[in-house]
Structure 1
Amino acid sequence: MGKRIIVDPITRIEGHLRIEVEVENGKVKDAWSSGQMFRGIEMMLQGRDPRDAHHFVQRSCGVCTYIHALSSVRAVEDACDIEIPENARIVRNLLHGAQYQHDHIVHFYHLHALDWVDIVSALSADPVKTAKLSENVSGRPQKAAYFKEVQTRLKTFVNSGQLGPFNNAYWGHPAYNLPAEANLMAASHYLEGIKLQAKAARMHAIFGGKNPHPQSLVVGGVTSVRDLTPERIDEFFAIWKETKAFVDEVYLPDLLAVASFYKDWGGIGGNNDTYLAYGDFPQKNINDDLLLPAGVLMGDLVPKAVDTLKITEDVTRAWYEKGSAKHPYEGETKPIKGEVSYNTDDKYSWMKAPRYAGKSAEVGPLSRVLVAYTGGHKQVKALVDHALKTLGVGTEALFSTLGRTAARAIETVVVGDAMEGWIDTLKSNIAAGNKKTYQPWTMPDKGRGFGLNDVPRGALGHWIDIEGGKIKNYQYVVPSTWNLGPSDGENQKGPVEKSLIGTPIADPKQPLEVLRTVHSYDPCIACAVHVIDPHTNETYKVRVI
């Protein structure tokens, strides 16, 4: 038996995640992913008005707020056979696009980059050489004086004995490959990204009222009709333009520059054969002509149509009462009462194990890009081929930790480009006097519906069963449950667990390589698990033994 390594909690994510790996002969032999808290929002929704559901579910997380509300209203609209007006579709797309621009920038620079960039190494960089590197790599080159100023700020952190956001990392680890000048350039963009992400979040406030938890979504459309003025649209456009420039001139070039020093990671962190994408950004309606296409790859490179009836959740290895794998319409949320025991040979997570046609399926940017690329999406194909050619690697490198990280940047460009067209169409509609943003409707006595939404972290689905005009059952399957869920009744591991197996570990006491692959999925455990007792509001105590 190999050596067991436990990273608990995983930092630079949303929520509480425990990763345990078994290392043998310098590589991960086995892995277990555990969500350490219980989510009970589905239980809170039973008996409530379906029109209120989106207000509850967007509280699943303080980051992924809008996207849960969008899936929820889509589920109710499906159950009630509602088709929203064109302006509502465009506003929803713009808000969703703003989420992509914001989240992917934050993920690359502030959650994932420190797995590849050694901040302390930047202290020894030559600012003059860094400026020359910037001229060759970045679409927004800076002078030596700029990098000298950034370096001084970093030294202030270190000399104070408090690294601030750069604390608790494995600086100096042998797996860091970037030269000091590349580290300094990336660190400067880290700081730029902090300022930009605050501006990007304002896009939600313009048409959504506020961020987090935008308030303009309603079943039947959006309520932001008073915000659809030339001035407000121009304000949104200005922030989009600045964000788009950063993506094109800084984010994508940085991604390719950093990746060029880590080409070996094009062969690490894959190990999955099923990739699922719901697709999103409807150009006409929710079911067809999606900017990011829907599809599933199952052991080949031919995308097939998604059949939502093939989706189930297994609870064999999760801390729920025993039961068979169920489709979300029949899904149950019945946690084990009392204390639970962490046992990798039995139950070890609060997350269920979603499966598609019985298979463990990866969701997220890599799945979306693979489905689009293999399906012939022209822009995605051009961007992917450019990245592969620049790095001098083959398509096999896509199925990896490196490919997963690159896919985020690629789709950020695609979504950002499309937003300009939506802004222009919205502006034209308003100028022509078309301001309709809501479709009146009547609540049926009974109905079933689901709302699919491919969000920055992956495939998100909400399912609702209405009876007597109230919610009879409500279930949602989130991206991090797909990716970080445990083994199932067939002992089939989840995507993250599979991806970690085979990963080389240079120093078991500093498992930086584990963090690289885990962070490449951008875990958001807050929407996968939550802590609440719906009867007493008492927090569950989870003891790990």
Structure 2
Amino acid sequence: MSSDKPGLVEMTWDPITRIVGSLGIHTKIDWAQKRVVECYSTSSIFRGYSVFMKGKDPRDAHFITSRICGICGDNHATCSVYAQNMAYGVRPPHLAEWIINLGEAAEFMFDHNIFQENLVGVDYCEKMVRETNPGVLDLANRTEAPHAGEHGYRTIGDIMRSLNPLEGEFYREALQVSRHAREMFCLMEGRHVHPSTLYPGGVGTVATMQLFTDYLTRLMRYVEFMKKVVPMHDDLFDFVYTALPGYEEVGRRRVLLACWGGLNDPEHCDFTYRNMATWGRKMFITPGIVVDGKLVTTDLVDINLGMRILLGSSFYDDWEGMDRFVTHDELGNPVDARHPWNQHTIPKPGKRDFGDKYSWTMSPRWFDGTDHLPLDTGGGPLARLWTTALAGLVQTDYVKSTGHSVQITLPRTMTKPETTFEWRIPRWSNAIERNRARTYFQAYTAAMALHFSERALAEVRGGRTDTWSEFTVPDDAFSVGFTEAVRGGLSHHMVIKDGRIANYQPYPPTPWNASVRDSFGTPGPFEDAVQNTPIFEENSQENFKGIDIMRAIRSFDPCMPCGVHMTVGAGKTLTRIHTPHAFSGES
């Protein structure tokens, strides 16, 4: 902590995430105004997958890229398989796609549950609030929970106590639930998080009635759990707005949301580029880009062609003037030199300088014809629900998008009746609403898993048990896979030359969310969301924890392995000094 003039304090949290410690947040705070005035997001590691994928057999791509992340590796494997299916011209059997959807739905349920309840929840638990906002805790203890009859906690203070790490009742219950969700994934794809039965052309899973029965047994436990979770979190998040007027400004930024769509409908998805706009709109998570509340496109071809990779403040040399791998797409549209298909990854390490280059994360942007927009994923669920709600295209027995909301119906379970929740488009894209959306999206994917189970069982009962289609690898091809990783939009862009990978660029949500100031000087979403965030913490400057900044960043569900990784070689010692914060699990 330091200051360059009275009232302006420099504060750094590095690392910040509770999962992987490679994200640094560097701020300048106007202490007199209790507001962040400047923020820089840094990632200190370089992975280089786009470098060493060159020359590999494209059939190995999903096995290799799964290792990009030890948290959402199956999302990468799935996205890679989608890109390979397009390149090879293969369409898996319907049953295989339902199985993949069931696996991905289980991953959403598992990951969102453990992050929301066991990591984000700690930011709002009784121990944390006691340290940072004791006045808020006093009010919480006196405030009746509006939905106590549904979740069992009489006051907001009781909810906060249930979130205390390791000790809280709800904290422990959520850990057990995440175990069931992980088992559901393994039933479908063999291993978590690096699937062992997922391949281009389908899956190696042996589809039986018993397989889906085992999945459904666990799924119904999760469905019952969600009938408690949704009203409990609504009570907690609504209370924060009431207890701290103005809290809607924490983590708030312009509504610039990106969703690449997910959970394909095998009745429509043929994995061809020429039909991608059509089958993309049939996904069970609707792709789209929302700008200032308006859904500007749901066309995956437009989304793909609008991608631009800018460098700006990141540690790379530009590839301007180098050969393009792809000049036009299959439909004859020109492909920009800064599109991922044409990207050359040229790392150039250097000393961190906030006036120049300071991070290994590039700056993906979406070009709308006029501006390079710094889209964010809303942590994943906020963008997914927002685009799906506005598009109004998803209509199943369990989930319906209305044009302004998403209705989620969960059937009767062991102790709870049929329940319908409705996520409504919020007024803000901020920390609280990103977290709230994550809760509703857990219910969304549970409901969708019921639909997928029914369709998969219908295939088995009808004797359509094939789960894989043959294919051949072409000598030359280029393709793209689109899906939603847990934290947001994920795309894999592949170019094949002479039967080998000539270029492979995976773009997970991390570089979109954690990007740095680009070549136009535009800050990335983390930076933008923290800048101008007000400080509500009651502690003095000397005891400041930075909880409001933590909540802003963690609402995006940051997971930095998908950013970058670097080795410094043998014999070099790095010394890191940072400001620790309460209950971070860091040292």
Match of 1:302 among 291, 295, 308: 295
When structure 1 is superposed on structure 2, of 46-55 and 271-280 the one drifting more is 271-280
Residues 538, 431 of structure 1: CA spacing in aligned structure 2 closer, same or farther, 3 A cutoff?
farther
Q: Which residue of 1 aligns with 2:550?
A: 515
Q: Which residue of 2 aligns with 1:349?
A: 359
- Deviation of 1:430 after TM superposition, in Å, equals 1.0
Match of 2:238 among 253, 256, 260: 260
Q: Which residue of 2 aligns with 1:189?
A: 170
Q: How many angstroms apart in 2 are the aligned matches of 1:180 and 1:81?
A: 56
Q: Report if the CA contact (8 A) 1:15-1:524 is conserved.
A: no
Aligned 1:278-317 pairs, distance under 5 A: 278-283=260-265, 284=267, 285=269, 287-288=279-280, 289-306=282-299, 307=302, 308-317=304-313
Match of 2:11 among 5, 10, 33: 5
Residues 396, 98 of structure 1: CA spacing in aligned structure 2 closer, same or farther, 3 A cutoff?
closer
**Percent of residue pairs bearing the same amino acid type:** 24
Q: Report if the CA contact (8 A) 2:125-2:162 is conserved.
A: no
Aligned 1:191-230 pairs, distance under 5 A: 191-224=172-205, 226=206, 228-230=207-209
Match of 1:21 among 27, 33, 38: 27
Instruction: Write the letter of the residue equivalent to 2:23.
Output: L
- Deviation of 1:31 after TM superposition, in Å, equals 0.7
Q: Which residue of 1 aligns with 2:314?
A: 318
When structure 1 is superposed on structure 2, of 352-361 and 418-427 the one drifting more is 418-427
When structure 1 is superposed on structure 2, of 264-273 and 326-335 the one drifting more is 264-273
- Deviation of 1:315 after TM superposition, in Å, equals 1.6
Q: Which residue of 1 aligns with 2:563?
A: 528
Q: How many angstroms apart in 1 are the aligned matches of 2:191 and 2:425?
A: 41
Q: How many angstroms apart in 1 are the aligned matches of 2:571 and 2:251?
A: 35
Q: Which residue of 1 aligns with 2:397?
A: none
Q: How many angstroms apart in 2 are the aligned matches of 1:235 and 1:539?
A: 51
Q: How many angstroms apart in 1 are the aligned matches of 2:252 and 2:389?
A: 17
Q: Report if the CA contact (8 A) 2:54-2:502 is conserved.
A: yes
Q: Report if the CA contact (8 A) 1:360-1:494 is conserved.
A: yes
Q: How many angstroms apart in 1 are the aligned matches of 2:150 and 2:513?
A: 34
Matched positions, count: 495
SS in 1 for 2:188: helix
SS in 2 for 1:397: coil
Tell whether 2:389 aligns with 1:373: yes
Q: Which residue of 1 aligns with 2:214?
A: 235
Tell whether 2:338 aligns with 1:360: no
Alignment gaps of 5+ in structure 1: 145-177, 387-392
- Deviation of 1:272 after TM superposition, in Å, equals 2.5
Aligned 1:74-85 pairs, distance under 5 A: 74-85=82-93
Q: Which residue of 1 aligns with 2:323?
A: none
Q: How many angstroms apart in 1 are the aligned matches of 2:295 and 2:195?
A: 38
Q: Which residue of 1 aligns with 2:344?
A: 332
Instruction: Write the letter of the residue equivalent to 2:232.
Output: D
Q: How many angstroms apart in 2 are the aligned matches of 1:501 and 1:394?
A: 27
Q: Which residue of 2 aligns with 1:139?
A: 150
Instruction: Write the letter of the residue equivalent to 1:322.
Output: D
Residues 135, 433 of structure 1: CA spacing in aligned structure 2 closer, same or farther, 3 A cutoff?
same
When structure 1 is superposed on structure 2, of 464-473 and 363-372 the one drifting more is 363-372
SS in 2 for 1:260: helix
Match of 1:427 among 441, 445, 457: 457
Instruction: Write the letter of the residue equivalent to 2:171.
Output: Y
Residues 282, 45 of structure 1: CA spacing in aligned structure 2 closer, same or farther, 3 A cutoff?
same
Q: How many angstroms apart in 2 are the aligned matches of 1:446 and 1:120?
A: 56
Q: Which residue of 2 aligns with 1:160?
A: none
CA displacement, residues 396-450 of structure 1 (integer Å, 9 cap, x when unaligned): 5332111111111222212211111211121121122111111111111100001
Tell whether 2:249 aligns with 1:271: no
Instruction: Write the letter of the residue equivalent to 2:467.
Output: T
Q: How many angstroms apart in 1 are the aligned matches of 2:235 and 2:448?
A: 25
Residues 85, 424 of structure 1: CA spacing in aligned structure 2 closer, same or farther, 3 A cutoff?
same
SS in 2 for 1:21: strand
CA displacement, residues 75-116 of structure 1 (integer Å, 9 cap, x when unaligned): 111122221110111011000100111111111111111111
Q: Which residue of 1 aligns with 2:416?
A: none
Q: Which residue of 2 aligns with 1:32?
A: 40
Alignment gaps of 5+ in structure 2: 272-278, 321-336, 394-399, 410-422, 578-587
Instruction: Write the letter of the residue equivalent to 1:199.
Output: H
Residues 384, 422 of structure 1: CA spacing in aligned structure 2 closer, same or farther, 3 A cutoff?
closer
SS in 2 for 1:343: coil
Tell whether 2:104 aligns with 1:96: yes
Instruction: Write the letter of the residue equivalent to 1:349.
Output: S
Residues 468, 403 of structure 1: CA spacing in aligned structure 2 closer, same or farther, 3 A cutoff?
same
When structure 1 is superposed on structure 2, of 264-273 and 100-109 the one drifting more is 264-273
Q: Which residue of 2 aligns with 1:171?
A: none
Q: Report if the CA contact (8 A) 1:266-1:400 is conserved.
A: yes
Q: How many angstroms apart in 2 are the aligned matches of 1:411 and 1:277?
A: 14
Q: How many angstroms apart in 1 are the aligned matches of 2:494 and 2:401?
A: 35
RMSD: 3.0
- Deviation of 1:41 after TM superposition, in Å, equals 1.6
- Deviation of 1:543 after TM superposition, in Å, equals 7.5
Q: How many angstroms apart in 1 are the aligned matches of 2:173 and 2:24?
A: 31
Q: Report if the CA contact (8 A) 1:453-1:459 is conserved.
A: yes
Q: Report if the CA contact (8 A) 1:271-1:498 is conserved.
A: yes
When structure 1 is superposed on structure 2, of 52-61 and 255-264 the one drifting more is 255-264
Q: Which residue of 2 aligns with 1:490?
A: 520
Q: Report if the CA contact (8 A) 1:366-1:408 is conserved.
A: yes
Instruction: Write the letter of the residue equivalent to 2:317.
Output: E
TM-score, normalised via structure 1 length: 0.84
Q: Which residue of 2 aligns with 1:154?
A: none
CA displacement, residues 158-203 of structure 1 (integer Å, 9 cap, x when unaligned): xxxxxxxxxxxxxxxxxxxx85323223332111111111221111
Q: Which residue of 1 aligns with 2:50?
A: 42
Q: Report if the CA contact (8 A) 1:531-1:539 is conserved.
A: no
CA displacement, residues 339-361 of structure 1 (integer Å, 9 cap, x when unaligned): x2111111111111110001100
